[in-house]
Structure 1
Amino acid sequence: MADHSLKEMSRDRQAKLGHFIVEFATPGIGHILKSAGCDFVLFDLEHSGFGFETVKSTLRYFEAAQLPAIVRVPSLEYHHIARAMDMGAEGLMLPMVGNANQARHIVDSMKYHPAGKRGVALQVAHDRYRPGAVTDKFTGANSRSTLFCQIETEEGVENAEAIAAIEGVDALWVGHFDLSVSLGVPGDFEHPKFRDAIERTTAAAKKHGKALGRLVPTVQQGIELYAQGFDFLCYSGDVWVLHNALAEAINGLRDGCK
């Protein structure tokens, strides 16, 4: 799709296609993903080991490539949320959002007055170090920031509709592995309990006009999920794409060089 902000993407149900970065925060990564056709990138702090210095640098690589970035922070703590926003995250993803109160806390932590209670830091990374009127800065930051709440617990499914109803929540994002564990059916994505949880989360997003996303391991599954109502589709991750492509080539060469 043509270049759009995450906020614009969240407001339509076209397929938005991206990739998950957990390992390779290299200077060329933004341009590589953009050249490959990605609409967005999901940059992970929950499992990657990346710190905020890396976030600050890597977001500049994505900006240079005009590739919107969602930063997944490791917790719902204020300092994780606000620092990611200060570093220039356009999108923010939070793990294991379980209820509406937690969603409101996230909105308060990432939005400036009057939409939230985020501490003020201006003419830094998030506004590209440019001067300007405070009210304009607040308005611009609030309108740009896009929130993805991960539904990956039984509690989150129970409260998915209430979470989706919160002003400032732009999308629900299913964390399928953790959700299956929370439901007591680890890795069984065909289990009736898991399928029911997906149906309930999908219905909540649809009812409140919110986007719906998840990671997809294969092209075929991504197509099937899009038909079910998922519009943010994040295909695999850097580690697994490199590993699988390289393993296929190495094995082919080894077999052919006997």
Structure 2
Amino acid sequence: MGEYNLKEMAGTRSAKLGHFVVEFATPGIGHILKSAGCDFVLFDLEHSGFGFETVKSAMRYFEAAQLPAIVRVPSREYHHIARAMDMGAEGLMLPMVGNPDEVRHIIDSMKYHPVGRRGVALQVAHDRYQPGAVEDKFVAANKRTTLFCQIETAEGVENAERMAAIDGVDCLWVGHFDLSVSLGVPGQFDHPVFNKAIETVIAATRKHNKALGRLVPSVEQGVAIYEKGFDFVCYSGDVWVLHDALASAIARLRADCKQHTME
């Protein structure tokens, strides 16, 4: 992977492997994930309860570890998008993106003139507090920021090809649980309706040479979706990895201790 560059990552079809952070925004989290081999981190504001003060600190942790960060904001509201950009998010993920008009609003909110209409804030977190010419700042910020649109509704699937065609969209990201609910088959990820929707999204990204991502709960599923065309593969999340590893170890330890007691 290219060091610290989501835009370059999105331009290749090689596997980019990351992790979902919804709970542990600790100072060491960036270095822990980097040491574990992650290419990127997905930092969640939609379901985590994290606020923008936490985002501002967490972005510095990821920068220190040279680990590219995608921030999922809770809505398509301008203030959520622009504030994440100002805090230094390299990647931006939006939930429930359904049509090209919504995509254009997002791009307007995250990009500077002449690409978008983002309010100007320079020599702050996103440009490392460094001075410089305004035009150069605009060019650098627009080039750096990387857009991940979540396909989580039937409308999003229907418009996937039109959205993938838009300059400024770097990746379509399937939100599999919400998509299954929208399609009327909650949690049925082997259902023909769900599989057909996935194939539609895959075809859209292939046609327009855009990246494709998804969260997976297991290594096996990660490999399976990579073989189908997903190149951003986000393996589980901090809560579930800790819970499952600890539960497994405690269960084995308890069983072994009980066995020794019986002997």
- TM-score, normalized by length of structure 1? 0.99
Match of 1:17 in 2: 17
Q: Is the 8 A contact 2:52 2:84 kept in 1?
A: yes
Is 2:165 the counterpart of 1:165?
Answer: yes
Give the Cα–Cα distance (whole angstroms) in 1 for the partners of residues 231 and 2 of structure 2.
15
Q: How does 1:209-220 map to 2 (within 5 A)?
A: 209-220=209-220
Match of 1:93 in 2: 93
Q: Is the 8 A contact 2:4 2:66 kept in 1?
A: no
Give the Cα–Cα distance (whole angstroms) in 2 for the partners of residues 88 and 110 of structure 1.
11
Give the Cα–Cα distance (whole angstroms) in 2 for the partners of residues 105 and 2 of structure 1.
29
Match of 1:232 in 2: 232
Structure (1 or 2) with the larger CA radius of gyration? 2
Q: Is the 8 A contact 2:93 2:149 kept in 1?
A: yes
Deviant stretches of 4+, over 6 Å:
none
Is 2:207 the counterpart of 1:207?
Answer: yes
Q: Is the 8 A contact 2:2 2:8 kept in 1?
A: no
Q: How does 1:1-258 map to 2 (within 5 A)?
A: 1-258=1-258
Unaligned segments of structure 2, at least 5 residues? 259-263
User: Aligned-pair distance for 1:37?
Assistant: 0.1
Cα displacement string for residues 58-90 of structure 1 (whole angstroms, at most 9, x for unaligned residues): 000000000000000000000000000000000
AA at the equivalent of 1:132: G
Cα displacement string for residues 210-252 of structure 1 (whole angstroms, at most 9, x for unaligned residues): 0000001100110010000000000000000000000000000
User: Aligned-pair distance for 1:3?
Assistant: 2.0
Give the Cα–Cα distance (whole angstroms) in 2 for the partners of residues 196 and 72 of structure 1.
26
AA at the equivalent of 1:168: G
AA at the equivalent of 1:76: R
| Matched pairs, number | 258
Q: Is the 8 A contact 2:148 2:169 kept in 1?
A: yes
Give the Cα–Cα distance (whole angstroms) in 2 for the partners of residues 50 and 192 of structure 1.
36
- TM-score, normalized by length of structure 2? 0.97
Give the Cα–Cα distance (whole angstroms) in 2 for the partners of residues 79 and 243 of structure 1.
34
Give the Cα–Cα distance (whole angstroms) in 2 for the partners of residues 181 and 196 of structure 1.
15
2:187 counterpart SS class: coil
User: Aligned-pair distance for 1:188?
Assistant: 0.1
Fraction of identical pairs, as percent: 79
Give the Cα–Cα distance (whole angstroms) in 1 for the partners of residues 125 and 2 of structure 2.
25
AA at the equivalent of 2:31: H
1:257 counterpart SS class: helix
User: Aligned-pair distance for 1:2?
Assistant: 4.9
Q: Is the 8 A contact 2:160 2:201 kept in 1?
A: yes
